[in-house]
């Protein structure tokens, strides 16, 4: 089977915002405790942070990490996580039916971000709390000194302000499961008033308002229209969330869900344009896709805790063990974000460690890369620069989520320096190799740098602490660039990164 692709150096979609490779840590399960923080671990530093995890996070170069939630934030008192640790209260978390002793709070999280070469993206509680707690939180974090909250931070040992610029105005407020769930009218008004107050403190803050929790919500897409009608001139981004599952064990339908993601982005983009026109505004609101990942492997195990009465500390929750099939899905999701770089400026893989995460740990033991670590790693490394429009002519299939789904899923990125074009390619076909012919218009003298590939004979193959290298990428031969044309044979069900010097 043949697939032809054309890219032209002048046919650009948009510069890619580095923040599209951001991540997320919530006070959920073992994301924080025995995830990033485990005093006494052989690799732990003087602050109790696991060095092995920090090394894996640094390697993936994730620019921002969202915190502290997630569903957790909608009943969270941020003041519980500051001050002397022996005076911090232990609270029951209603979202995940666990306990938290607040050993880690905003100050410690910011310290961890510095160690991990990333930056904090903080969420305020607009569920059980509101404007006043939000403005105090921002003042505590960002004001240099000379006010009650900033001086309190200094007393706690953090003299310099944290200067957090990205703030989420609540989380999934459209969801009935959310503590303090609101209608679009209620939330839109509260979010707008909160945004106005935060802008009185600092006009340079970037504020993210809640969109729909997923595109199957009964209030979607009216929610976006109503909330943006209230907040358009006060905020910068609207958040979207989407998780992916293959409960039916239908690989082609599963991989076609990236088409549903694309429609989600396209629809919300249209609503943004509608509200912009209605407001006669010059402002462009962008999309923050600040929760996305595969999530379904652990749901039956999770029910034992979420429906129980034990209120455990840092239990094993949402610990999906990702297989090779999930590599193909994550690769397709990232390709969608790259192709929609004009709309999506922030995206956070949910989450970073242990909880539906690319990195796993054992308490007292090793940390290792899950299968999905690799497509996220390569996109973050080589997917920075400008998204190029890739015109694809190749075989397609029909699915539950749309017809004419291309077997060849591809995105193309020209590097920031302009000296390299990287193709990220998924062959979705179950059995057929695709003969790729990609024409590089406007790139004379192009030459191959490398072709990195992930394949595996077992779609259900996983990486574990005992066998962390079961599913790994490899450099392959047989790909060539001659006369401005890239040619390669892409095996069925493969993830490919092809780098071309230009």
R_g over Cα of the chain = 23
**CA dihedral in degrees (87, 93, 96, 98; nearest 10)?**
50
Answer left, alpha or beta for residue 240, where phi above 0 means left and psi between -120 and 50 means alpha. Answer: beta
Are 400 and 448 in contact by the 8 Å Cβ rule? The answer is no
Nearest residue to 391 via CA among 7, 9, 12:
7
Catalytic annotation, residues: 172, 291
Between CA 86 and CA 84 the distance in angstroms is: 6
Under a CB-based contact definition with an 8 Å cutoff, are residues 29 and 315 in contact?
Answer: yes
CB atoms near residue 164 (< 10 Å): 21
Burial label, 213 (beta-carbon count in 10 A; 0-12, 13-18, 19+)? buried
Q: Is the dihedral of CA 185, 208, 334, 417 positive or negative?
A: positive
> How many Å apart are CA 465 and CA 477, to the nearest integer?
30
Q: Which residues pair with 44 in a beta bridge?
A: 50
Count Cβ neighbours within 10 Å for each residue of 97-112 and write b for 16 or more, e otherwise. bbbbebebbbbbbbeb
Tell me how many degrees the CA angle 300-302-307 measures, rounded to the nearest 5: 100
Q: How many helices (H) and strands (E) does the chain have?
A: 11, 26
């Amino acid at each position: 089977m043949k697939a032809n692709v054309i890219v032209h150096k002048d046919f650009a979609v948009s510069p890619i915002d580095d923040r599209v490779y951001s991540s997320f840590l919530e006070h959920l399960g073992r994301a924080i405790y025995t995830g990033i923080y485990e005093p006494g671990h052989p690799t732990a530093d003087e602050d109790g942070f696991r060095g092995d995890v920090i090394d894996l996070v640094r390697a993936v170069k994730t620019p921002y990490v969202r915190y502290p939630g997630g569903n957790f934030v909608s009943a969270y008192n941020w003041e519980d996580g500051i001050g002397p640790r022996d005076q911090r209260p232990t609270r029951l978390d209603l979202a995940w039916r666990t306990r938290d002793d607040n050993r880690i709070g905003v100050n410690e999280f910011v310290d961890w971000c510095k160690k991990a070469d990333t930056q904090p993206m903080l969420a305020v509680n607009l569920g059980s709390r509101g404007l006043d707690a939000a403005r105090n939180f921002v003042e505590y974090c960002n004001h240099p000194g000379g006010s009650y909250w900033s001086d309190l931070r200094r007393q706690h040992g953090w003299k310099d302000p944290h200067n957090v610029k990205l703030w989420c105005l609540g989380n999934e407020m459209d969801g009935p499961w959310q503590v303090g769930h609101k209608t679009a009218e209620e939330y839109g008004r509260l979010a707008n008033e909160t945004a106005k107050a935060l802008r009185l403190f600092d006009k340079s803050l970037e504020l993210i308002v809640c969109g729909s929790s997923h595109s199957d919500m009964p209030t979607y897409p009216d929610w976006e229209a109503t909330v943006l009608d209230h907040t358009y001139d006060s905020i910068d981004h609207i958040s979207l969330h989407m998780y992916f599952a293959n409960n039916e064990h239908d690989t082609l339908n599963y991989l076609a869900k990236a088409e549903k993601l694309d429609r989600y982005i396209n629809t919300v983009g249209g609503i943004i344009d509608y509200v912009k026109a209605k407001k006669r505004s010059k402002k462009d609101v962008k999309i923050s896709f600040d929760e996305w990942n595969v999530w379904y492997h652990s749901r039956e195990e999770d029910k034992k805790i979420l429906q129980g009465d034990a209120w455990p500390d840092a239990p094993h929750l949402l610990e999906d063990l990702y297989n090779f099939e999930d590599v193909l899905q994550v690769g397709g999701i990232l390709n969608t974000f790259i192709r929609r770089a004009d709309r999506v400026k922030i995206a956070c893989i949910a989450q970073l460690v242990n909880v539906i995460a690319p990195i796993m740990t054992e308490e007292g033991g090793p940390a290792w890369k899950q299968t999905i670590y690799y497509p996220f790693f390569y996109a973050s490394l080589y997917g920075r620069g400008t998204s190029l429009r890739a015109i694809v002519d190749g075989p397609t299939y029909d699915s539950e989520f749309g017809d004419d789904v291309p077997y060849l899923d591809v995105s193309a990125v020209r590097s920031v320096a302009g000296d390299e074009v990287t193709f990220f390619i998924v062959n979705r076909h179950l059995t057929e190799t695709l003969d790729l012919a990609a024409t590089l218009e406007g790139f004379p003298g192009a030459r191959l740098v490398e072709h990195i590939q992930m394949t595996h004979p077992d779609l259900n193959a996983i990486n574990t602490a005992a066998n962390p290298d079961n599913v790994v990428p490899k450099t392959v031969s047989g790909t060539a660039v001659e006369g401005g044309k890239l040619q390669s044979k892409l095996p069925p069900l493969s993830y490919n990164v092809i780098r071309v010097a230009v």
